[in-house]
Amino acid sequence: MEKKDIDWGNLGFGYMETSYSYVCNYKDGAWEEGGLTTDHSVTVSECAGILHYCQEVFEGLKAYTTEDGRIVCFRPDLNAARMADSAKRLVMPEFPQDKFVEAVKMVVEANKEWVPPFGSGATLYVRPYMFATGVVIGVKPATEYQFRILVTPVGPYFKGGKEAITITVADYDRAAPRGTGDIKAGLNYAMSLHPYEEAHKRGYSENLYLDSATRSYVEETGGANVLFVDKQSNLVVPQSHTNSILPSITRRSLVTVAKDILGMSVVERPVKFEEVTNGDFMECGLCGTAAVISPVGHIEAEGVDVTFVDGAENAGPVMSKLRRTLTDIQSGAIEGPEGWIVEIC
């Protein structure tokens, strides 16, 4: 399969217009058939619900080229289910989950020459999203919506790849964390943009958020879940008392990889930030669709200076093994659990 003439190895994590997107409209209480489009623009009324009451949900997943030349996606059914949960919370019509998966297959296959080659370190990022197009001026749900999928080839989310990054503790509480209550997708990233920009100005890659009630428990970062490795080599996965951590598909997959494939002990529990500052953890990583696992070498803030002994400069042994195993499953190098890999073409 001939690929586009792109310097795949030097791609950043940004948008590049590809050949096709997918579009489907909801009107009169039903979804239309939907299909591919070469029009990558969106036109809505100045009174569209998305512009006034922010009815919008989105997902993120990736497509990969395997060593034997196939193109595959990783667990799109879970993205479909999570988007349906998000739509319910925002009083939006659910996009049928089987139709979601078929739409992903359709748009990825149509853009197969844009899927980076095996071994390049790049992937095709797939962004399904849905928003209110119907006119609404009073505070109420719209009656018309559009579901779209764009795809774009991307490189690593954090510069440096396997090199450890330095993060800081957020100076601000988000008004609504990514996974607040029963919201199951990334609905509130806008709330973290200001502290994100402030962190970048000070040279940090990300913000670590603590719980807003007591500021004593680890939640997540602005764009990823957090993982730790303790001194007994257990994988420690922070849990939230208020269900405010986004239920990451990557995190859930890594827990299964750790338990069932690598035979590791996994502990899912609330994690006090005091444990982090006391040096109880040997490794730290940020996980998500975009990052996969990015190692954290240091956490710095006023009165805080933490270095993770086994991952200060590069990914530590546990994070390296987890990342390698998951990416090998995603790329087809090793067989994963049934249903994880969906072949496109």
Q: What is the CATH number for 18?
A: 3.30.470.10
Q: What's the whole-number mean pLDDT along residues 155-177? A: 71
What DSSP string runs through 134-187?
SB--SSS--S-EEEEEEEEEE--SSTTTTBPEEEEE-SS--SS-TT-TT--S--
The verdict on residue 342 lying in a domain is no
pLDDT at residue 188 greater than cutoff 60: no
Write down how long the chain is.
345
Domain stops at, among 154, 184, 210: 154
Q: Which of 184, 231, 259, 272 does the annotation list as catalytic?
A: 184
Number of structural domains the chain divides into: 2
**Same domain for 292 and 318?**
yes
264 is in which domain, residue-wise? Answer: 165-330
Query: What is the average pLDDT score of the chain?
Result: 91
Among the residue ranges 151-165, 205-219, 232-246, 307-321, the one predicted with the least confidence is 151-165
* 178 and 32 part of one domain: no
Domain contains 159? no
Residue 140 designated active-site: no
Residues 179 and 325 in one domain: yes
Residue 337 lies in a domain: no
204 and 242 share one domain:
yes
Tell me whether residue 122 is in a domain.
Answer: yes
Last residue of a domain, one of 124, 154, 184: 154
* 290-339: pLDDT as tens digits: 889 999 999 999 899 999 999 889 999 999 999 999 999 998 899 999 99
Residue 295: closest CA among 246, 237, 229, 201: 229
103 and 245: one domain? no
d(CA 127, CA 104): 9
Closest CA to 179 of 238, 113, 124: 238
235 and 190: one domain?
yes
d(CA 288, CA 145): 27
pLDDT at residue 158, rounded to an integer: 78
pLDDT at 214: 87
Residue 174 and residue 323 share a domain: yes
Q: Which residue has the tokens 């994880």?
A: 340
- DSSP state at residue 94: P
